[in-house]
């Protein structure tokens, strides 16, 4: 690989052994084509996003751990064959919901690397804990939202329209990013996000001493406790509904999944680059 600018190219070529080539149109597409056969090499669950790879398996007996280790060995064989190297030092294992003592390793150039065991990881902007509870993600989201509120406060009191624009553009998205995967269901998590919004709405000129519910009504905002309503709206958009003159019913072959129920599925598909999920 070399760099080209306006028809001029760097003198030296550099071998690219990992990652997605940057700065070109065809680079990412060619990379996806080159890794397209990777799932065919493993027998357990696998998910890929760009240059991140996740494999997982339910661990009930020792043979399950051996099967997962075999898949890691196959991934390293694929890596040696196609010269696209994994970075064992960045690969980690997260153990979810079992107490078996399991360890995994990846062998590169004849050297064995033991995978680090992690209790929490960040993947695609979502923090995942080994207990699958959204507390960590909630705390990170609230902290970032408060930091942005601090920047907005430096401009002094805002009128209603300016605040609504700033809040919906910069603050609220921090607390609702990918909320379908980590929807808070514990009272303490909901109240934490609620307090951020309560603090924010007091920054509006003329609403400092107005009740919280009235501030929401004036600003056209909704409470974080109203997530059930948004769950139902999202569900109606995803699943078709069969209606007739007498009743409305859902097709019997479909399974209704709310945000809290889908969180586990998303967690099993997401974790850091090359990680192993159990």
Q: 177 φ, ψ to 5°? A: -60, 120
pTM for the full model? 0.66
- Please give the distance of CA 16 from its chain centroid, rounded to a whole number: 27
Q: 3-state DSSP call for residue 46?
A: strand
Q: 3-state DSSP call for residue 69?
A: helix
Query: Which token pair is 45?
Result: 């669950």
Q: Are strands 116-118 and 92-94 parallel, antiparallel or unpaired?
A: parallel
Q: 111 φ, ψ to 5°? A: -110, 130
pLDDT per residue over 208-219, tens digit each? 888 888 888 888
Asked whether residue 107 carries a pLDDT value surpassing 80, the answer given is yes
Query: pLDDT tier at 237 (50, 70, 90 boundaries)?
Result: confident
For tokens 């995942």, what's the residue? 128
pLDDT per residue over 170-194, tens digit each? 998 888 888 878 888 888 888 888 8
pLDDT per residue over 4-19, tens digit each? 788 888 877 777 666 6
Give the start-end residues of each E strand in 82-124: 92-94, 105-108, 111-114, 116-118, 120-123
Asked whether residue 261 carries a pLDDT value surpassing 90, the answer given is no
More confident residue, 195 or 245: 195
pLDDT of residue 9: 83
- Please give the distance of CA 89 from its chain centroid, rounded to a whole number: 21
Contact 47, 264 (CB under 8 A): no
From CA 272, how far away is CA 138, in angstroms rounded? 19
Contact 92, 116 (CB under 8 A): yes
Cα dihedral 152, 183, 198, 144, rounded to 10, equals -30
Helix (H) or strand (E) holding 5: strand 4-5
Rg (Cα) of the chain, in Å, rounded? 24
Q: 3-state DSSP call for residue 131?
A: coil
Contact 175, 225 (CB under 8 A): no
pLDDT per residue over 240-259, tens digit each? 655 444 444 444 433 333 33
For tokens 């149109």, what's the residue? 25
More confident residue, 234 or 65: 65
Asked whether residue 146 carries a pLDDT value surpassing 90, the answer given is yes
Q: How far apart are the first and last CA of the chain?
A: 37
Asked whether residue 262 carries a pLDDT value surpassing 60, the answer given is no
Query: pLDDT tier at 122 (50, 70, 90 boundaries)?
Result: confident
Average per-residue pLDDT for the chain: 77
More confident residue, 161 or 97: 161
- Please give the distance of CA 175 from its chain centroid, rounded to a whole number: 13
pLDDT of residue 153: 84
């Amino acid at each position: 690989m070399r760099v080209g600018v306006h028809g001029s190219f760097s003198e030296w070529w550099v071998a690219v052994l990992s990652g997605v080539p940057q700065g070109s149109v065809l680079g990412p597409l060619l990379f996806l084509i080159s890794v397209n056969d990777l799932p065919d090499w493993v027998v357990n669950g696998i998910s890929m996003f760009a240059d991140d790879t996740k494999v997982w398996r339910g661990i009930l007996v020792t043979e399950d751990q051996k099967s997962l280790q075999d898949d890691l060995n196959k991934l390293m064989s694929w890596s040696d064959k196609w010269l696209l190297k994994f970075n064992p030092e960045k690969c980690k294992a997260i153990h979810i919901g079992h107490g078996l003592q399991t360890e995994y390793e990846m062998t590169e150039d004849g050297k064995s690397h033991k995978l680090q065991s992690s209790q929490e990881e960040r993947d695609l902007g979502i923090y995942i804990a080994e207990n699958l509870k959204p507390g960590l993600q909630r705390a990170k989201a609230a902290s970032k939202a408060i930091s942005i509120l601090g920047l907005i406060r430096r401009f002094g009191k805002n009128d209603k329209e300016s605040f609504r624009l700033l809040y919906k553009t910069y603050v609220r998205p921090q607390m609702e990013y990918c909320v379908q995967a980590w929807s808070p269901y514990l009272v303490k998590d909901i109240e934490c996000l609620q307090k951020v919004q309560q603090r924010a709405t007091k920054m509006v000129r003329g609403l400092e001493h107005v009740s919280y519910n009235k501030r929401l009504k004036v600003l056209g905002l909704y409470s974080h406790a109203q997530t059930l309503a948004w769950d139902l709206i999202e569900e109606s958009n995803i699943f078709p509904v069969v209606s007739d003159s007498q009743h409305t019913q859902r097709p019997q072959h479909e399974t209704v999944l709310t945000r809290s129920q889908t969180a586990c599925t998303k967690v099993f598909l997401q974790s850091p680059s090359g990680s192993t999920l159990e």
